[in-house]
């Protein structure tokens, strides 16, 4: 369904205009509105000219025609020419950027109901190809929004009557581009952490199940000491699980510390020596690997929370874009609808 941005009425996907209030829902309808406005304007001009000629002599009628139509006709023609060129650039750069973020699925960002719709679209796009998505956004999508202001300033003659709404709309592209870069770069960082997080599972399996001690089993013991406060004082595996369960309420800070300080202990294990209490703790934990399941659960939960925080960054940028577009659309409607 197509939701009308003015009255919120749901319309069929094939509809060009809203069945309730007549608002244009796509480019076809907008172009038709311009054509109708052109015809109405020309009829109005002709009518004014006829009235002027009928009321005064031809010379006075000529000056009256200039008075009634000259300035407004030029302004309207200028606005219409700008509008057509603007829409072409906007569709190819700014609106195409938002569609690119969604991997060309979902609705245009300018007609979305709210930021929750955007969140769902971005989450779906990420889940289709988590490993490739951040690079796709950086290389394919962001260049489009960055190109928008430059093309606008270089290729179009600005129309004073559309200011300041036009200027505000163009300015939103900078905020949106910065937000998208943060979004993509931090998603990429989360993906990179996901690769290094695999070391926890690998080393932990060795610690719990290998018959022989090794640098990997020593390293995992060091990891546990780094990740879990007062690790040596924990009586048994259950005490460790209970501590990790307490972290689950808000794991982002703890997970960030583990990835910064503790996971590196598992990455370069050559020359790693056992801690003095190593044997005691191996015996204490034995083959109870619930700690590994708890760590994986916390890593996933923290990543989900981090992605949600990034969604809020994009949601704020979308609100700037959406409000900027609504303001410009209203101003365009006033300019194109004037007699």
Q: pLDDT tens digit string along 259-290?
A: 999 999 999 999 999 999 999 989 988 899 99
Q: What is the pLDDT of residue 44?
A: 56
164 cis-preceded (ω within 30 degrees of 0): yes
Long-range contacts of 31-37 (CB under 8 A, 24+ apart): 33/336, 34/80, 34/83, 34/84, 34/336, 37/336, 37/337
* Residue boundaries of the structural domains of the chain: 191-307
pLDDT by residue (tens digit) across 167-194?
999 999 999 999 999 999 999 999 999 8
Q: What is the pLDDT of residue 158?
A: 87
Query: Shortest CA distance to 29 belongs to which of 62, 50, 5, 8?
Result: 5
Q: What is the pLDDT of residue 336?
A: 79
Beta-ladder partners of 10: 3
Q: What is the pLDDT of residue 53?
A: 42
Phi, psi (rounded to 5 degrees) for 17: -130, 160
pLDDT by residue (tens digit) across 218-250?
999 999 999 999 999 998 999 999 999 999 999
Higher-scoring residue by pLDDT: 28, 253: 253
Task: Categorise residue 103: left if φ over 0, alpha if ψ from -120 to 50, beta otherwise.
Answer: left
Q: What is the pLDDT of residue 57?
A: 37
Q: Is the pLDDT of residue 18 over 50?
A: yes
Q: What is the pLDDT of residue 62?
A: 33
DSSP calls for 6-61:
TT--EE-TT-SB-TTT--B-SHHHHHHHHHHHHHHHHHHHHHHHHHHHHHS-HHHH
């Amino acid at each position: 369904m197509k939701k009308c941005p003015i009255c919120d009425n749901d319309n069929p996907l094939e509809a060009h205009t809203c069945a309730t209030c007549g608002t244009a829902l796509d480019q076809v309808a907008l172009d038709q509105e311009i054509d109708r406005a052109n015809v109405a304007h020309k009829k109005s001009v002709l009518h004014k000219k006829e009235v002027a000629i009928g009321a005064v002599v031809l010379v006075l009628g000529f000056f009256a025609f200039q008075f009634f139509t000259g300035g407004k006709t030029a302004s309207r023609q200028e606005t219409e020419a700008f509008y057509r060129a603007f829409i072409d650039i906007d569709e190819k750069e700014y609106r195409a950027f938002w569609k690119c973020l969604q991997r060309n699925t979902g609705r245009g960002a300018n007609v979305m109901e709210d930021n929750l719709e955007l969140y769902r679209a971005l989450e779906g796009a990420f889940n289709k190809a988590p490993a490739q998505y951040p690079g796709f956004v950086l290389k394919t999508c962001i260049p489009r929004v960055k190109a928008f202001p430059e093309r606008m300033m270089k290729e179009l003659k600005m129309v004073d009557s559309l200011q300041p709404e036009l200027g505000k709309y163009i300015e939103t592209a900078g905020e949106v581009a910065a937000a998208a870069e943060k979004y993509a770069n931090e998603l990429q960082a989360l993906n990179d952490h996901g690769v290094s997080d695999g070391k926890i599972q690998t080393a932990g399996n060795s610690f719990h199940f290998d018959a022989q001690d090794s640098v990997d089993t020593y390293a995992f013991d060091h990891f546990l000491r780094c990740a879990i406060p007062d690790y040596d004082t924990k009586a048994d595996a259950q005490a460790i699980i209970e501590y990790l369960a307490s972290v689950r309420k808000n794991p982002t800070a703890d997970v960030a510390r583990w990835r910064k300080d503790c996971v590196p202990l598992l990455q370069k294990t050559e020359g790693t020596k056992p801690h003095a209490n190593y044997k005691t703790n191996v015996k204490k934990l034995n083959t109870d690997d619930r700690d590994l399941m708890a760590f994986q659960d916390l890593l996933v939960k923290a990543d989900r929370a981090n992605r949600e925080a990034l969604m809020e960054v994009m949601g704020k940028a979308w609100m700037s874009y959406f409000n900027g577009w609504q303001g410009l659309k209203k101003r365009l409607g006033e300019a194109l609808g004037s007699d």
